[in-house]
Structure 1
Amino acid sequence: MKRTQINTAGYGRNPLKNPATSFFAKITSLFELLNDDLKYDHMSVNINTEYAPDYLRLVLDKLKEIWQIDETAFVHGSGHRKSDHQRKYEQLKAYTSKLEEYVEKIQICGTSRNSYSKTDTDATFMRIKSDYMGNDQLLPAYNVQIGVADEFIAVIDVNQYRSDMDCFVPLMEEFHEVYGAYPKYPVADAGYGSFNNYIYCEQHGMEKYMKFPMYKKETKDKKYHTNPFRPINSRVDENGTIRCPNDRAFKFIYRHLVRGNLYGRQEEVFECEDCQGCPLAEQCKKTPKNKRISLSRERNNMYQEVQDNLESIHGALLRMNRSIQAEGTFGIMKHDRWYKRIVRKRIDSVKAELYLVALGYNLRKYITKIMRIRIAA
């Protein structure tokens, strides 16, 4: 008699994401026990490394048919002994329910988040500074971004990303959708400067005036800037060989792609030829192995260009103007107008609320300017 395999194309793997490897291992263990029982019926359950709810429901239906299960006849409570078939069937049913719950949560969370709130599934848990003492809390929130031009709020966007770096491109695309062009000089603080965002600016005709994360340390901390043990400060001899502070050569090991980079940026890894007996070893490295360094020439050249832009007279004026207008706008909204908390749920409603707030801010700013002109006249 031919052995029948319970399997359906497309059901064997979860197309979304692996909820928990240990949970799949539990399902596999149960399937192995089921196969020991089903071999007498010349049937078997297909075993995989991952499973989808549809496949587990299919196995449940087959078991119900083969074992002639009537769930209304199941026994429960103390004093009753469950049959082997009932225990395995109920366990598989519980696994199916739990896997469906995992899949639902993954669909809500999506690929760009790793958390969400039960009371507002569009909100992401973020670190919020809730008082002036800096005692932050993990609360469901949205990342609100505004673009200010000539003291008015030109564009506003609401994101589920915790990092400001990820919010830069959506805000620029929102600006382009509203005005049909990209801003020439997008000025932002160090939370927005990244290689991805700089390349994006180049591709869309924007100048690079966003600080990179270590900008302040690079420009203000002379000791850090001139540190001879920083890879970027390593001496290169006439043959193009990188030398350590003790004049020992670094040899090229391999090149690898930078994780999370959208434009294929690579880093080169070098290793010192011999660190044994080096008098600078304690200052240079923390492990007994030969020191390794990573260099990204593309990123370093990009950072130097950004630094030159920001330290120019034009860059200094833009930075000063940003700190007055952009930070000032948030200060007026949060401190003067006491708008410190979003009152609506779901991202579409939150956007509508913030559009109204921005509209009120711009109208008030416009009327104030008109009144000043009349008084001056």
Structure 2
Amino acid sequence: MQTNNHIPNYFKSKQLKLPLSLEIKIPFDSEVRTFDEVFSKLEIDKYLKYPKDTRGRIGYNPHQMLKLILFCQMEKIQTLRDLAKAARNDIRIMWLTDELMPSHQTIKTFMDKYLVNGIDNIFYELTKYLIKEENIDTNNLFIDGTKIESVANKYSFTWRGSVEKFRDKLYKKISKLLTELNLRYQESDMLFNTHETYDATYLFKIKNFLDKEIKLHKINFVAGKGKRKAPLQRDYEHILDYITKLNEYQNHLDIMGPDRNSYAKTDKSATFMHMKEDHMRNSQLKPGYNIQIGVADEYILHMDIYQDRSDYKTFIPFLEGLKQSYGYYPKYPVADAGYGGLVNYMYLKLNHMELFQKYTMYSKDTHDKKRMNDPYFALNLIKEGDDFKSPNGDVLKYVHKNKKGNEVYELPNGKQKEINNENLEYQKEVIKNLKSPLGIDLRNQRSIQVEGAFGVIKEAFNVRRFRRRGTVNVKMEFFLTAIGYNLRKYYNKKYRITE
């Protein structure tokens, strides 16, 4: 048996050899070819114009920079340093960006300049292309939300209840001080009125009075051990301290706004919420954001970030944002029990959308036999004039309408029952819709599509905690993730690849 061990001594494995073109190395079904095909058909240049006040040297080509960032999102590469590393080592990215190799700081600067306020336009440019290319049925939109933790320190909390409690205690201290001042300076013909609440402007007037008294009596301020402060100095310092505290409490409340009860000091846009990942099993609140997405044919068509913990309150602004982005409402916006309610149902009917959203008691109203067999169960009652008639023949007499807007009816046993007739009609329509063949199919699709999308984003894309602070920056980060998700989904569908 003869072996060929002959290796030319003039050959080196690291020497330069053909081919020199990177394109030859990339397979026809590579992700980067699909990405380049899609990117070339988008009108991206209008969102990447240089700012008019740009000075100094011309930076990297923004077109190529955007390619680098978006393709890395498609490949689940998200940190700045990982992006910079991939640009230096991945031949697909070298071919795509013409061997662009920016530093992580350059990538961050590009994001801050072009993407923080413009990524939403790029996202909707892509989704409109996908709708046309994939014939996406936009009549069906599956909506759901999840909470994702902020990068803020989880122990840097500020609570509305605590702020208001300490502010109320401060009001009492101010009233007590003003009473003492009225006694102390009654010879000056000054009277400081006491109130239940105070603001800094009112205390500044008292401070100005004390300033004049200090100059008039030539009071020298003292400090330190063995020094005795004059009454005027003590009063002046108390007023200054109370002004500072009032401004501090008001600043906390201004940051929270009228709709929030907490915020994180290290990310003032984040609200403390219950998260699904509760490792300590003590229902610990963590700073985070409420992420809402709308999915159709497995693609994310719309998304938004909210500081409100309740999904119910996000439903109307979410659909209004969709209308603003696409110019129309979906015919069947399907959502779970967290979104159904009178206000949302009225909004849907007003805008000619169908009711396919469960309400809070939907499960009990359709599965609890004891509840369903109750003769006075609201859904079993039949309207007769102003009264209701139960299946067993009993009549529920109308009494009055209460402050909540509900009608009050008297039962035969003397007890009273509240019913909102308008909401009751909506609930009947919801049950009818969701139990229809179309409703059953839409419910199943909602569970698969929108919850599946969140599963992929959290597990495959590893988005369990944001890396940036502030609503604007967090929104940019999730828009980038959604773009990467849609591009990956398009590629998988194109080549029938199942993740």
TM-score above 0.5, yes or no: yes
Deviation at 1:269, TM superposition (A): 3.5
Letter aligned with residue 110 of structure 1: G
- Indicate the residue corresponding to 2:406 in structure 1: 267
Residues 100 and 237 of structure 1, relative CA distance in 2, 3 Å threshold: same
1:287 corresponds in structure 2 to: none
Matches within 5 A, 1:10-89: 20-68=167-215, 73-89=220-236
Corresponding residue pairs, total: 334
Q: CA RMSD for the aligned pairs? A: 3.1
1:138/1:46 Cα in 2 relative to 1: closer, same or farther (>3 Å)?
same
Cα-to-partner distance string for 1:177-225 (whole Å, 9 max, x where unaligned): 2111111110000011111111111122211111101111111111122
Residue 123 of structure 1 pairs with residue 270 of structure 2: yes
Q: Distance in 2 between matches of 1:133 and 1:85?
A: 53
Paired residue for 1:185?
Answer: 332
Q: Report the Cα offset of residue 337 of structure 1.
A: 2.7
**Map 1:350-365 → 2, pairs under 5 A:** 350-365=474-489
Distance 1:21 1:246 in 2: 56
Deviation at 1:99, TM superposition (A): 0.4
Mapped partners of 1:51, 1:144: distance in 2:
38
- Alpha-carbon contact 1:253-1:271 (below 8 Å) kept: no
Structure 1 residue 134: Cα displacement: 5.9
Letter in 2 for 1:333: I
Structure 2 partner of 1:210? 357
Query: 1:133 and 1:314 mapped to 2: Cα distance?
Result: 41
Q: 1:21 to 1:348 in 2, by over 3 A?
A: same
Distance 2:398 2:412 in 1: 6
The structure-2 alpha-carbon separation of the partners of 1:26 and 1:246, relative to structure 1 and needing over 3 Å to count, comes to farther
Amino acid at match of 2:266: T
Structure 1 CA distance for aligned equivalents of residues 495 and 216 of structure 2: 81
Q: 2:426 aligns with which of 280, 302, 309?
A: 302
- Name the % identity: 40
- Contact 2:357–2:430 (CA under 8 A) maintained in structure 1: yes
Shift of 1:348: 0.2
What does residue 439 of structure 2 align with?
315
Gap change, CA 1:160 and 1:36, over 3 Å in 2: same
Q: Residue deviations 1:46-87, cap 9 Å, x none?
A: 333322112212221121113428999323344333222222
Tell me the equivalent position of 1:156.
303
Q: 2:257 aligns with which of 77, 96, 110?
A: 110
Residues 241, 249 of structure 1: 8 Å contact kept: yes
Deviation, 1:326, is 0.5
- Asked if structure 2 preserves the Cα contact closer than 8 Å seen for 1:234 and 1:242, the reply is yes
Name stretches of at least 5 consecutive residues in structure 1 with no aligned partner. Answer: 1-16, 258-265, 276-290
User: Which TM-score applies when normalising by structure 2?
Assistant: 0.61
Give the greater-gyration-radius structure (CA).
2
Which fold has the larger relative contact order, with Cα–Cα distance below 8 Å and residues 6 or more apart in sequence? 2
Paired position in structure 1 for 2:417: 293
- Structure 1 residue aligned with 2:285: 138
Q: Please give the secondary structure, in 2, of the residue aligned with 1:43.
A: coil
Question: SS in structure 2 opposite 1:136?
Answer: coil
The answer to which of 57-66 and 131-140 deviates more is 131-140
Is contact 2:290–2:305 with CA below 8 Å preserved after alignment? yes
User: Quick one: distance in 2 between partners of 1:329 and 1:347?
Assistant: 22
Structure 1 residue 92: Cα displacement:
1.7
Q: What is the rounded CA distance, in whole Å, between the counterparts of 2:462 and 2:286 in structure 1?
A: 20
Contact 1:146 1:156 in 2 (8 A): yes
Q: What's the CA shift for 1:171?
A: 1.3
Q: Relative to structure 2, which stretch is displaced further, 326-335 or 62-71?
A: 62-71
Aligned counterpart for 1:337 among listed residues 458, 461, 470: 461
Describe the shift of the 1:172–1:72 C-alpha distance in structure 2 as closer, same or farther (beyond 3 A).
farther
User: Residue 406 of structure 2: SS of its match in structure 1?
Assistant: strand
Q: Output the CA distance in 1 between the equivalents of 2:378 and 2:187.
A: 67
Q: Distance in 2 between matches of 1:187 and 1:308?
A: 14
Q: Deviations over 1:138-185 (max 9, x none)?
A: 000000011001110000100000010011112112211211111111
For residues 288-315 of structure 1, give each alpha carbon's deviation from its aligned partner in whole angstroms, at most 9, with x where no partner exists: xxx4432211111111111111111111
More moved, 164-173 vs 141-150: 164-173
Q: TM-score, normalised by structure 1?
A: 0.79
Distance change (3 Å), C-alpha of 1:231 and 1:31: farther
